[in-house]
Amino acid sequence: MRVLIVEDDAALAERLAALLGEAGLVAETVGDGREAAYLGCTEDYDAAVLDLGLPQLDGISVLRHWREAGRVFPVLILTGRGRWSDKLAGFGAGADDYLTKPFQHEEVVLRIKALLRRAGGHADPVLQAGDLSYDTFAGRFSLHGEPLALTAQEHRILAYLMHRKGAVVSRAEIGEHVYARDLEPDSNTVDVLVGRIRRKLPPGLLVTERGLGFRLVSEPEFRD
């Protein structure tokens, strides 16, 4: 899952990116409002962390720009402005959550995870596909109640498929949502990683839709 961090405090942005990375997410940072407005409209992010006090273009204008362009990914606003009028403006522009500075950096991770889960239509923090479980808060997979060993890239791909359970996910979509914009893999790399994941899961749980992509199902499917 890709998250855009829009924050002109470079040290804070890098710290948040590191924490989100440790949580299995792909975080990209930008410190300029105009560039943020452009990236949010041209890249496939799953969520954004948005500061309000930005150079070139303020955060509220950035958010309005995204929403007017039809971008619906959840947005968590970070700001030093604690007045009710500022919060009202943020929610009015299309924000999904609001956090006032100073804050615990780890809280940003928890809130982003919650926003991602709700955006995928999941109420329970533990996602389930057959005997496979994914604890979105802890960032851990388990199979038959036992920890499932995955590489970092396998973890990111399977986490994305869990959030999109039941939907056909193309190779291109995996590349856009699991990798940073300058590290998108070729389709063969995705196939190899998905193949490795499939071998670690019960047969029939991760289905290949020929010519379309992959689908993680609630119960194993077996085809002739």
CB 55 within 8 A of CB 33: yes
Q: Within this chain, do residues 32 and 110 fall inside the same structural domain, yes or no?
A: yes
* Residues 108-123: b if buried by 16+ CB within 10 A, e if exposed: bbebbbbbbbebbebe
Domain membership of residue 223 (yes or no) is no
133 with 184, same domain: the answer is: yes
Whether residue 221 lies inside any domain: the answer is no
Per-residue pLDDT of the chain (224 residues; tens, 9 = 90+): 899 999 999 999 999 999 999 988 999 999 999 999 999 999 989 999 999 989 999 999 999 999 999 999 999 998 876 677 778 888 899 999 999 888 888 999 999 999 998 888 877 889 999 999 999 888 899 999 999 999 999 999 999 999 999 999 999 899 888 887 766 667 688 999 999 999 999 999 999 998 899 999 988 776 64
DSSP string, 16-37: HHHHHHHTT-EEEEE--HHHHH
> How many domains are contained in the chain?
2
**Neighbour tally for 40: CB within 10 Å:** 23
DSSP per-residue string spanning 91-108: HHHT-SEEEESS--HHHH
Confidence (pTM): 0.83
Are 72 and 157 members of one domain?
no
The answer on 36 and 114 residing in a single domain is: yes
Contacts of 187 (CB under 8 A, 6+ apart): 171, 172, 175
115 and 7 in a common domain:
yes
CATH number at residue 152: 1.10.10.10
Asked if residue 186 and residue 142 are part of one domain, the reply reads yes
Determine, yes or no, domain membership for 44.
Answer: yes
Which residue segment(s) compose the domain that 99 sits in?
A: 2-119
